[in-house]
Amino acid sequence: MGILFGLYILGILFTAVLLLLLASTAYNPLKNYIGKWNEMRPIPGMAGAYPIIGNALQFKTNAGDFFNQIIEGTNENRHLPLAKVWVGPVPFLILYHAENIEVVLSNSRHLDKSYSYRFLHPWLGTGLLTSTGEKWRNRRKMLTPTFHFSILSDFLEVMNEQTDILIQKMQKLEDGEPFNCFNFITLCALDIICETAMGKKIYAQSNADSEYVQSVYKMSDIITKRQRAPWLWPDWIYNKLKEGKEHAKRLKILHSFTANVIRERAEFMSSEPDSDSDQGERKRQAFLDMLLKTTYENGQKLSHEDIQEEVDTFMFEGHDTTAASMNWALHLIGSHPEVQKAVQAELQEVFGSSERHVGVEDLKKLRYLECVIKESLRIFPSVPLFARSICEACHINGFKVPKGVNAVIIPYALHRDPRYFPEPEEFQPERFMPENSKGRHPYAYIPFSAGPRNCIGQRFAMMEEKVVLATILRHFDVEACQSREELRPLGELILRPEKGIWIKLQRRSK
């Protein structure tokens, strides 16, 4: 993901890289580099690549400008069968055609994540997001049942309750008062993920200044910054710097919080396994509870370390991505009154004038709202790019690709392929009606990745987005305050607008 935004820095360090290569006692790195350079010569690439430094010096230094450069490059070179970029001595395949992406994502051999994911290890360990090989396969097989729809439906109550708090906050605003909804939605998503993942209320919406809430945000920023700065990659340097000490401080806060929650929950479950009360309240099933009960095929239970890395992973992956998606959707809905009217007509048909919460059966009936969410994710995928390692030599679109090459997959560009999405910049939720989706390439739309390593939490995400967006649109009319051009997406760990999402709300009459 974030590795692309550190690539231009490698160009500045090309001299150091060259010295390291030449200083190697066995010249294997240099031999490997020359071999890849020759093997990949037939693949079309960005012009101006030089030995050792590659294209690194051609990249923009600003993250927003760099993301725009990537997107402009994919638009200009969409006709190419395959594309490559050399960043220093490191080759990258840039994939944004469905046929090429399918070769990588559908192959169980290419499951390893790229180098940049190692910077998530101190926080997330080697959980489902970052693990590889047999550990990932065993963990995925074991955790998949915990994301079954019948289990996820137990989380609906939490989603509805936290959305009620969001609505109360929005109702305190003056009608027509412009405000940045990004923080509102993100705090709501954080409250939802904490209670569903850990069974712990953190009251982020009413206490955004809490140490834990601030550490979740800060850690994401710290990781992104480190991914973009190769001089911060060596641990022995990083740990001595101010950034490294801040990283250690935030890590201690995050791990202490989740470790304490796991310990308390485990003690409660072992002392009162049949109790349905929790400190005076009805005990809700949380993701953590299921992990505490989960066992491997040999009957061995997960260790507390295993459980912590999965809870931390779910926390990290489960709030920022859904929050971004809901924010982009609100902008698009607020920019297209005809779509908003169609969504509200569907809501009226399902809920009438009732103020009841969204139920399981309601979710199935909100078909047009689901199309709106999918189209929002097409235009603004929460994860705009991610990277895999090519784990064995293969052929992609007729070109040989050697082992060890990084494949950068760009959903943001893929979703704009006019072969599958005519007028790709137009917001047209009808694209995802069953009759219009029929025959579309299965890898033309991958907001949750695809293949064996697709997002295990996509049902959870869709459920949460339906609940939050449906509830907002039952209470308010939404008007966007920005044009598409003013948003300026920044493609970092997730796709964020540079200056937030500004909207106006108008209370709806019952």
How many residues are listed for the chain in this entry?
510
> Residue 52 to residues 37, 87, 88: CA-CA distances in angstroms?
10, 8, 5
Choose among 310, 370, 329: nearest CA to 495. 329
* Residues 31, 32, 33, 35, CA torsion sign: positive
At 253, give phi and psi (nearest 5°): -65, -50
Bridge partners of residue 502, in order along the sequence: 180
Tokens encoding 341: 């009217």
At 404, give phi and psi (nearest 5°): 95, -5
Q: What are the residues whose beta carbons fall under 8 Å from the beta carbon of 467, sequence distance 6 or more?
A: 156, 159, 160, 163, 358, 363
Is 481 marked as binding a ligand?
no
Alpha-carbon span 481 to 128, nearest angstrom? 38
State the pairing for strand pair 90-95/502-507.
unpaired
Choose among 411, 363, 369: nearest CA to 387. 411
Choose among 463, 165, 469, 473: nearest CA to 348. 473
Which of helix, strand or coil describes residue 191?
Answer: helix
Q: Report pLDDT for 461.
A: 94
Choose among 269, 301, 290, 380: nearest CA to 335. 380
pLDDT averaged per 10 residues in sequence order, the chain, 510 residues: 42 44 53 79 77 69 76 87 79 91 91 82 90 87 82 89 97 94 93 92 88 84 77 89 95 93 86 53 76 78 90 87 96 98 98 94 97 98 90 90 89 96 97 96 96 92 97 98 90 84 92
Q: Report pLDDT for 19.
A: 44
Q: What are the residues whose beta carbons fall under 8 Å from the beta carbon of 385, sequence distance 6 or more?
A: 1, 4, 70, 408, 409, 410, 411, 412, 491
| Residue type present at position 134 | E
Given a contact cutoff of 8 angstroms between Cβ atoms, the answer to whether 96 and 79 are in contact is: no
Which of helix, strand or coil describes residue 78?
Answer: coil
Choose among 323, 375, 333: nearest CA to 473. 333
Q: Report pLDDT for 280.
A: 44
Alpha-carbon span 382 to 254, nearest angstrom? 24
Q: Report pLDDT for 283.
A: 63
At 29, give phi and psi (nearest 5°): -60, -45
pTM of the model: 0.88
